[in-house]
Amino acid sequence: MGALEQQQRCRRLLLIGCIALLACAPRGVSGAAAEAGSTPEGRVGDSLKAWIEASRGVELEGVYLGDAPSGRNLGVFAAKGGLEAGEAYIAVPWGLVLGAHSIAAHRPALAALMTQLKVEYGADDKSVLLLLLMHEHFVSPRDSPWRDYLNALPDPDGFDTPLHWDTSLLRELAGSAVLDEAIAEQTRVRAVFKGFSKRVFSLHKDLFPPAKATLEALTWAWSIVHSRASTVPGKGLVLVPLADMVNDGGEEQGQAQAGGAAAAAAPGAAGAGAGAEGSGTKTERREFVVYDMHYDRAVVYAKRSYVPGEEVTESYGAWSMADTVVSAGYLPSPGAPGGGGGGGG
C-alpha cells in the first residue's frame, strides 16, 4: 500500500472511530479577520481567486474564504468591519451557476443532448447536473468557464465518504446506522452509471469519450452534487460556486434563518420553491440561496449579524448522522438536530 493510500485509510478509520465517539470542535472566530473577497493561500485558494477575478459579476461582499475551524477545509468568514443581517454576501451571475440553464450558452451540443434526454426519458435536474459536471471537469476542462472553480474542488481520490470506500473499510461500519445507507449509495451510483452508459455514453461518444465517461468520474460528480448543490426556490437543483463553501450552522442557524432576515424576504428574491424533480437527494433541503430577478443572479443573504472573523453559516436542514457521513464525509455537530450538511472546500 502506497503512502497516499495509507494516509487516506488512516483518515477513514479515524472517521469510523468518531462515529462511535462524537466530538465537536466549536464553531470559532478566527484570530484576525481578513479583507473582504480574499482567499486562503495554497492551490485551492489560488484557484478560487483566479475564478473570481476572471468571472465578471461574482461578488464576495463583507466576507472572505478561509480555513474552517470545524476541520471541513474551507469556510466563509465575516471580513473586517463585520457582516450585517440582511446583507448580500455572495452573488454569482445566473449564467455562471451550474445547471440546465447555463449549458446552452457554453455548450450548444450538450444542451441539445439534454433537451433530447428530457423528451425521451424525462431527465431531471440532478441528471443534468451530473452530466454537466462530468463534461466540464473531465471532457472539456480547458475551455470551461468553471475550470478554476472545479479545480478547487476535491479530486476524485480526495473524498473520504463511504461511497469511495472499498469492502474492507465498509466492514468497519458494521453495527452502525451508516452501513446500510453506504451500501445503498454505492448501489445507486452503479445503477445510474449503467443507465447513463446505455442512454448517453454509448450513443454520444463525441461528447462523452469512453476514456472520460467512467464510473470514477460519475462518482466524483455524484459526490459534488450531494455535498454542494442547492435547491434555489423557483429554479431547481443547481451548483452555485462559492455558496457551496458555506458550512452548516445546525439548529441555531436554522432558527435565525426562520425568524431573522429570511432570504425569501430579501429584495429581488424569487418566490415559492420548486424541488429538483426526481433528485432523491438530501440537497433539496439546502435552500439558503435565492434568485435575484432584478440582477439575474444567485444571492446569499446573511440571516444574522456576524463580528469580524466569525464563520458565516447557513442551515442545511435536519440531516441525520448517516446523511452527513455518507454525503459529506463528516460527523454532525451535537448542537444540530440530527446533524447538518457539508460544504467547504
Strand pairing class (230-232; 236-238): antiparallel
Question: Helices 215-228 and 125-134 sit at what angle, rounded to 10 degrees?
Answer: 120
The C-alpha angle 241, 158, 183, rounded to 5 degrees, equals: 100
Q: Tens of pLDDT along 268-304?
A: 433 322 223 333 444 444 579 999 999 999 999 999 9
188 Cβ partners below 8 Å, 6+ apart?
A: none
pLDDT at 8: 56
All residue ranges of the chain with pLDDT < 70 are: 1-31, 70-72, 250-286, 317-345
5 Cβ partners below 8 Å, 6+ apart?
A: none
Strand pairing class (311-314; 247-248): parallel
Question: Which residues make beta-bridge pairs with 74?
Answer: 67
Q: Tens of pLDDT along 222-277?
A: 999 988 999 999 999 999 999 999 988 865 544 554 444 333 333 343 332 222 33
pLDDT at 306: 97
pLDDT at 31: 55
Report H helices in 122-177. Answer: 125-134, 147-151, 167-170
At 314, give phi and psi (nearest 5°).
-135, 165
pLDDT at 41: 92
pLDDT at 91: 98
pLDDT at 53: 97
At 26, give phi and psi (nearest 5°).
-60, 145
pLDDT at 72: 59
Which helix (H) or strand (E) covers residue 8, if one does? helix 3-20
pLDDT at 296: 97
